[in-house]
Chain A
Amino acid sequence: MQRLFEELRERLLRVGVAPRHVRRYMAELNDHLADLTVEEERKGLSRKDAEASALARLGELEELAGAMIERRELQAWSRRVPWAVFGLGGLASLSVTYGIACLILWSGWRIFLPGSPTPFVRLEGLAIPYFGMGRLIYYGAPVFVGWALCVIAGRQRVRAVWPMVGIVLACVVGAMAQVRVGAVGSIGLAIAPVSVTYLAGLIVVAALPYLVWRVFAIVTGGVSLKGA
């Protein structure tokens, strides 16, 4: 019984059914099976026979999977428009993250360093964690975005191509983006040349969770990636 549900879950995820629909489907099937088992037991069947009969009434794997798969509207966005989710979505998330980092730098400059011609000076007191948070977000942005794409790809059993495109794109843009400070209170991002070594390192760190998951899945055979 548990194996049927596990196989069904994997099959649905592999063909791109949205995880939230898969999760709810599994929960509802479990509830339904429990109700059917009680009904069969009331007819006088033993627990084992009641479970077998309930399972037969619930439907076969092919039937249960097919009914969900044929509904295209239940597919995850990452399957319907992977270029948008992993490409544009990654870049949009990166922009938002950089926006937050710049906002922290700009507000910290105004709050803690009024009149200072640059925010890149020796800091004291509360300014240290405040600017530290902004720095962490700024430097970590491509990695955080990459990890988010890894989580989406892993949950939805997406093939490597689109997640890797998204991660590389986010890392290239992330490695090239640099904060520039102009007149007092003026902060912006500019494009600067990038070191290949730094970029390669960034890509490896950003893609690490996905690569680990792929290797783990292949080694254990617990999650088939065939056709994913």
Chain B
Amino acid sequence: MMGRVSNPSFLNGVPELLVLRLLDEQEMYGYEIVQAIRSRTGEVITAGEGVVYPVLHGLEREGAVRSKRRTVSGRSRVYYSLTPAGMRRLEEMSGAWTRVTNAIQGMLKGDRNAEAI
């Protein structure tokens, strides 16, 4: 199994990107988001599950997501969904991340013409 990646500086911006990507598909509450990240990344990217909430609060404050409290099966939950500003933010972050990973991949493969970061 691959080692867990939890270096905060290396992961700078990654939690936001993953959260925005998931919310682009459907509205979710915190527990669902964390479980989706765990399963989709094969548990490579993990941290204390509770740290997803400061990320969500920060994104909401920036206007990238909105929250709504709903009662489902007798449980009151805060559901998060993407706003138009969040969609634009996701687009920008995805583009930047793709460029970075392509450049690193190219460098790891020894490609001298790897796209500049």
User: Which A residues are within 8 Å of any B CB, using their own CB?
Assistant: 21, 24-25, 27-29, 31-32, 35-36, 57-60, 63-64, 67-68, 70-71, 73-74
Contacts and interface: CB of A to CB of B under 8 A. Distances in A.
Going nearest first, the 6 A-B pairs with the smallest beta carbon separation are A59-B48, A67-B51, A67-B54, A63-B48, A35-B31, A59-B50
11 contacts: A24-B57, A25-B54, A25-B57, A31-B75, A58-B49, A59-B47, A59-B50, A59-B51, A67-B53, A68-B54, A73-B58
B81 to A, nearest CB: 16
A32 B61 contact: no
Given A58-B49, A68-B54, A73-B58, A36 B31 contact: yes
A73 B47 contact: no
Contacts, number: 66
Nearest to A28: B53
A32 B50 contact: yes
Contacts of B75: 31
Interface of B (DSSP majority class): helix
Contact of B78 (A28, A35, A36, A74): A28
Interface residues of B, number: 20
A36 B55 CA distance: 19
Nearest to A54: B49
B94 to A, nearest CB: 22
Interface of B: 29-31, 34, 47-51, 53-55, 57-58, 61-62, 75-78
Interface of A (DSSP majority class): helix
Given A25-B54, A58-B49, 7 more contacts: A28-B53, A32-B53, A35-B31, A64-B50, A67-B48, A67-B51, A71-B54
A88 to B, nearest CB: 23
A35 B38 CA distance: 15
A70 B47 CA distance: 16
A206 B5 CA distance: 53
Contact of B77 (A24, A29, A31, A74): A31
Contacts of A27: 78
A21 B49 CA distance: 17
A59 B49 contact: yes
Q: Which of A24, A28, A36, A63 has the most CB of B within 10 A?
A: A28
Contacts of A74: 54, 57-58, 61
A29 B53 contact: yes
Contacts of A57: 48-49
B2 to A, nearest CB: 19
Q: Which of B51, B61, B62, B77 has the most CB of A within 10 A?
A: B51
Contacts of A32: 30-31, 34, 49-50, 53
Contacts of B29: 31
A73 B49 CA distance: 21
A64 B77 contact: no
A58 B48 contact: yes
Contacts of A58: 48-50
